[in-house]
Amino acid sequence: MPDKQELAEQTLHALGIPVQESYFSTGSTVTADGWHAALDAAQAMRRRMDQARAILEREAAADAALAGRLREAIELLKAPGHRQEEMQEEGG
């Protein structure tokens, strides 16, 4: 199992932060610079997640609106007499 320093390095690497030895002091304790870098990265990730959530919510709302319109159109097509009206419009 990785120690605290390895976990911190893996986390920073996963967040795209270049890991430097100066981020860590002896004893696997993160230095203030390392802590602030990790905090900044976490806040940036949170902002990106919030932006992605907003986009997904807008897309979901648009999909729901489209589904409602499609449902109405399908119901109109299923309505009794639709084929007769269509044939009359075609001159049949």
pLDDT of residue 6 exceeding 60, the answer is yes
Mean pLDDT over residues 30-38, rounded?
73
The encoded tokens of residue 25 equal 């002091």
Q: What is the mean pLDDT of the chain?
A: 77
Mean pLDDT over residues 42-69, rounded?
92
What does residue 7 show for φ and ψ, rounded to 5 degrees? Answer: -65, -45
- What is the sign, positive or negative, of the torsion defined by CA atoms of 47, 49, 51, 54? negative
**Judging by beta carbons within 10 Å of its beta carbon (0-12, 13-18, 19+), is residue 34 exposed, middle or buried?**
buried
The encoded tokens of residue 35 equal 């802590």
Which residue would you say has higher pLDDT here, 80 or 72?
72
pLDDT of residue 42 exceeding 70, the answer is yes
The pTM of the full predicted model, rounded to 2 decimals, is: 0.45
pLDDT of residue 53 exceeding 80, the answer is yes
pLDDT of residue 29 exceeding 60, the answer is no
